[in-house]
Chain A
Amino acid sequence: MGETITFWVLAVVSVVAALGLVFSRKAVYSALMLGVVMLSLAVLYAVQDAPFLAVVQIIVYTGAVMMLFLFVLMLVGVDSSDSLVETIRGQRFWAVVAGLGFAVLLAVGIGNAVIGDPAGLSGAVTADGGNVPALARLIFTRYVFAFEVTSALLITAALGAMVLAHRERSAPKATQKDLSRARFLGDHPTPLPGPGTYARHNAIDMPALLPDGSVSELSVNRVIARHDVEGGRLPDNPRLAQAIRNVASGSGGTSPSPKVVQAVAEEPGSPSRSEGLGEPEGGGRSEGFSEPEVLGDAEDKPKVAQTAGRAAEHPVEEEGK
Chain B
Amino acid sequence: MTTHYLVLSALLFAIGGVGVLVRRNAIVVFMCVELMLNACNLAFVTFARQHGNLEGQIIAFFVMIVAAAEVVVGLAIIVTIFRTRRSASVDDANLLKY
Contact check, B21 vs A95: say whether CB atoms are below 8 A apart.
yes
Least Cβ distance of A159 to chain B in Å?
A: 10
> Is the beta-carbon distance between A76 and B88 smaller than 8 angstroms?
yes
Chain B CB within 8 A of A316 CB: no
A77 to B86, CA, bound (A): 10
A-B contact count (CB 8 A): 244
Q: CB-CB < 8 A to A118: which residues of B? A: 1-2, 49-50, 52
The size of the chain A interface, using a CB distance under 8 A, is: 89
> A residues within 8 A CB of B5?
7, 44, 48
B22, A95: Cβ atoms closer than 8 Å:
yes
Using known A-B contacts A4-B1, A22-B22, A111-B3, determine if residue A50 contacts B48 with beta carbons closer than 8 Å: yes
Alpha-carbon distance between A279 and B87 when the two chains are bound, in angstroms: 12
Question: For the complex, what is the distance from the CA of A110 to the CA of B55, rounded to whole Å?
Answer: 21
A82-B25, A118-B49 known; A107+B10 contact, CB < 8 A: yes
- A106 lies within 8 A of B13 (CB): yes
- Given A4-B1, A73-B27, CB of A37 within 8 Å of CB of B38: yes
Question: CB distance A161 to B1 under 8 Å?
Answer: no
Which residues does chain A contribute within 8 Å of B75, judged by CB atoms? 68-69, 72, 161
Contact A65 B18, CB 8 Å, known A15-B8, A118-B1, A165-B79? no
A7, B10: Cβ atoms closer than 8 Å: no
B interface secondary structure, majority: helix
Chain A 27-55 interface 0/1 with B at a Cβ cutoff of 8 Å (1 = within): 10011001001100100110011101100
- The residues of A that contact B35 with a CB separation of less than 8 Å are 18, 21, 34, 37
Are B57 and A52 in contact, with the CB atoms below 8 A? yes
Give the 3 A-B residue pairs with the shortest CB-CB distance, closest first.
A119-B52, A99-B18, A95-B21
Give me 10 A-to-B residue pairs in the complex whose CB atoms sit less than 8 angstroms apart, sorted by A's number. A21-B19, A22-B19, A34-B31, A45-B41, A72-B78, A80-B87, A98-B21, A161-B75, A164-B79, A278-B83
Interface residues, chain A, with chain B CB atoms under 8 Å away? 3-4, 7, 11, 14-15, 18-19, 21-22, 27, 30-31, 34, 37-38, 41, 44-45, 48-50, 52-53, 56-57, 60-61, 64-65, 68-69, 72-73, 75-77, 80-83, 85, 87, 91-92, 95-96, 98-100, 102-103, 106-107, 110-111, 113, 115, 118-121, 123-125, 134-135, 138-139, 143, 146, 150, 153-154, 156-158, 160-161, 164-165, 167, 255-256, 276-279, 287
